[in-house]
Amino acid sequence: MTVDSLLTRAHALDSADPLVEHRKRFIGHNDPGLPAYLDGNSLGRPLQSTLERYNSFITTQWGGRLIRGWDDGWLQLPLTLGDRIGEVALGAAKGQCIVADSTTVLLYKLARAAVAARPGRTEIVVDRDNFPTDRYIMEGIADECGLRLRWVQPSPDGGMTSEDVRDVVGPDTAFVVLSHVAYRSGYLSDMESITACVHDAGALVLWDLSHSVGSVPVHLDDCGVDYAVGCSYKYLNGGPGAPAWAYVAERHQAELNQPIQGWLGSADPFGMVQGYEPALGIRRMLSGTPPIMGMLAIEDMVDLIGTVGMDEVRKKSVALTEFALESVEVLLAPHDVRVASPTDAARRGSHITIDHPSFKEVTAQLWEKGIIPDYRNPDGIRLGMSPLSTSFGETLHGVMAIEAILAAG
C-alpha cells in the first residue's frame, strides 16, 4: 500500500462514516492552523452548543436566578447528571453515579470506602502501569491505613488480565484498583472476568474508567462492579478541570463510609445540625458545594453520545484505531517505529501508542505545525482518536507528518 492509496482510503472512510456530520458540531474542527487534533483522549474539544449553554447559564440562571438557582436544580445536578452519564455511557441504573470533585479526589474517597468495607484485610492490589495518580493515592492510603500494596507488572504493550489478577488476590486482599483502558498502551481489560476473580477472593474492585467513558461501552451493573470513577474532560468533553464522576453499586451505599465528610453529603445540609450523619444513597459521596459551571459542557456531550449511542461510537472508534495502525504499518514501520498497543481491536480502547527514540523531539515539531498528539515516557507518541470529533483524514495527516519528520532525519 502507498501513501496515495491511504489517502484514497481515508477519503472513502470519511465519506462512508455515518457519524461524519457530528464532527461539525465541535468548535475548531475546520481550523486551518490545527490540521490534526489527536489528543481528545487528554482534553476533548468543546461543542458549539456548549458556548450557547454557558451564555444562557450566565445570563439567565446565574445572573437571573442567583442564589435561588440552588433550589431550581443546581443541588440536584450532581445526581441528575450522574444518572445521565450512568444511563448513556456506563450501563448503570439510576441512583448510583454522582458528579463531583476530581478523579484523584474521588479515587481517594472510594478507595478509603473500600478499605472500610473490608476490615481486617491488609492488601491493596495495584499495577505498575496504572496512571500515576492511581498509584500515588494508593501509596498514601497504604501508609495512612497501615496496609500493604501488592504490585503487579503487566505486559507494557498490554495490560491487566484476569490471570494476572487471579494470581495475586486472596484472603488478605481488601480491594483491587485497575484502569479499564490503560493510559499508555490503550489495553482494554476484561471487566467482567476480572471483577468475578476479585469477588471470588471476597475482595472489592475499583475501576478507573477515565479512558473508557464515552469511548468504550461499559456495563457496570451487569459486570457486578463495586466502585468506579472517571474523568469528564477526555471523551466526555467537559473542558479543562471538569469535575469527575463516581459510581457506587447500590448494594454498598447504605454502609458506604467515605472520609471527606462535608455538609453537602450530610443527611440535612440546611439543618446545620451538630454531628455528621451521611445522606441516604449516592449523595453521601458529596463533600462540599458542587462545581455547577464545570458540569455544563458534560451535559452537552452526554446528550450527543445519547443520541448516537455508545455502540455506534465504539464502531467508529475501532475503525479509527484500525486505520491508524494500518497507516503506521505502511508509513512508520520502515522507520523502525514500534506499535506499543494491542493489535486486537477487541482488547483496545480509542488510542494507540507508537514508540521511537526520537519521539520526544518529534512531538515538539508536530505541535509547532498544529498537529497535536501527545508524548508519553519513554519514547511514546499517543495518537488519540475521539470518535465523534476525529476524522480518518485527520488521523492519516498526523501519521504522514510523523513520517515526514522521520524521513528528514
Task: Catalog residues that contact ligand PLP under the rule CB under 6 A.
Answer: 102-104, 131, 133-134, 179, 183, 208, 210-211, 231
Q: Which of 127, 164, 208, 374 is catalytic?
A: 208
d(CA 127, CA 124): 10
Q: How far is the CB of 39 from ligand PLP (least distance, A)?
A: 12
Residue ranges of alpha helices (H) inside 118-159 are 132-145
Nearest of 77, 103, 347 to residue 233 by alpha carbon: 103
d(CA 168, CA 198): 10
d(CA 123, CA 138): 11
| Cell numbers representing residue 23 in the block | 464532527
DSSP codes of every residue in 109-120: HHHHHHHHHSTT
382 is catalytic: yes
Residue 278 vs 290, nearer CB to ligand PLP: 290
221 is catalytic: no
d(CA 409, CA 399): 16
Could you tell me if 358 and 380 are in contact, meaning their C-beta atoms sit under 8 angstroms apart?
no
Strand, helix or coil at 21?
Answer: helix
- SS3 percent helix, strand, coil of the chain, rounded to 5, is 50, 15, 35
Q: How far is the CB of 242 from ligand PLP (least distance, A)?
A: 9
Q: How far is the CB of 132 from ligand PLP (least distance, A)?
A: 8
d(CA 182, CA 161): 12
| CA distances (Å), origin 113, targets 33, 59, 260 | 47, 40, 10
Q: How far is the CB of 233 from ligand PLP (least distance, A)?
A: 7
Residue 179 vs 327, nearer CB to ligand PLP: 179
Q: How far is the CB of 220 from ligand PLP (least distance, A)?
A: 16
Residue 131 vs 247, nearer CB to ligand PLP: 131
Q: Which of 233, 235, 247, 359 is catalytic?
A: 233
112 is catalytic: no
Q: How far is the CB of 253 from ligand PLP (least distance, A)?
A: 23
> DSSP code of 65?
I
d(CA 200, CA 182): 24
Q: Which of 283, 323, 382, 392 is catalytic?
A: 382
- What is the set of active-site residues? 131, 208, 233-234, 382
